[in-house]
A and B are shown apart, each in its own frame.
Chain A
Amino acid sequence: GDSVTQMEGPVTLSEEAFLTINCTYTATGYPSLFWYVQYPGEGLQLLLKATKADDKGSNKGFEATYRKETTSFHLEKGSVQVSDSAVYFCALSDGPLLTFGTGTRLTIIP
């Protein structure tokens, strides 16, 4: 079945550092890919998405490019802030349902 593998955490970075969280997927079809974020005490929120190969999703300074050849959807941000501290989930859908990775906890220190 479909699955998502993402970089294990926790990840700790200093403010203004460059961020990459790796995500790879396995799917039989042509899935849509997503990054969700969970801030402390809050529900999961959609951060960005891409629906076909070579699409780039972007939001709040975060970007991810759908790479079919490497089955990847890595999350990047050029300069992180303390407010980016959260748990990040990579996910895919090949229908109405979402399949999630295990999540990566990111902590940004001032």
Chain B
Amino acid sequence: GAGVSQSPRYKVAKRGQDVALRCDPISGHVSLFWYQQALGQGPEFLTYFQNEAQLDKSGLPSDRFFAERPEGSVSTLKIQRTQQEDSAVYLCASSLGGASYGYTFGSGTRLTVV
């Protein structure tokens, strides 16, 4: 597609529920990044893929967070047993390479845990 597509745009989850957030990157972009943006804050790094390989997951806040990109294209960020502190906007970005190439961000998924 022309841009990075994220779905759903909004998600309300009850505490303890599992959620899955989808990212469809720009075709041909080998790098894919997930960031978490709390209200009033800048995006914070979660994890990074190059093709299907997860090269860095140091930003994932707990073992409840899991990301995959099995075929090197679409990626899914899964959060198990959601907690209120997980409420944030989850941003996906793709790039031809790293940051110096410029990221293209999706519009994000706003997760609210109630």
Contact = CB atoms under 8 A, between A and B. Distances in A.
Given A46-B103, A97-B48, A103 B41 contact: yes
Interface stretch (B65-73, B78-86, B91-99): B91-99
20 contacts: A4-B42, A32-B99, A34-B99, A41-B107, A42-B107, A43-B108, A44-B103, A49-B100, A91-B99, A93-B99, A93-B100, A96-B31, A96-B55, A96-B99, A97-B33, A97-B45, A97-B98, A101-B42, A102-B41, A102-B42
Nearest to B98: A96
Nearest to A93: B99
Interface of B: 3-4, 31, 33, 40-45, 48, 50, 55-56, 91, 93, 95, 97-100, 102-103, 105-108
A100 B44 contact: yes
Contacts of B95: 96
A102 B48 CA distance: 21
Contact of B56 (A4, A44, A97, A103): A97
A102 B41 CA distance: 5
A110 interface: no
Contact of B102 (A49, A97, A100): A49
B93 to A, nearest CB: 8
Nearest to B3: A43
Contacts of B106: 43
B103 to A, nearest CB: 7
Centre residue among A4, A44, A46, A99 by max chain B CB count within 10 A: A44
Contact of B97 (A36, A43, A96): A96
A43 B106 CA distance: 5
B66 to A, nearest CB: 19
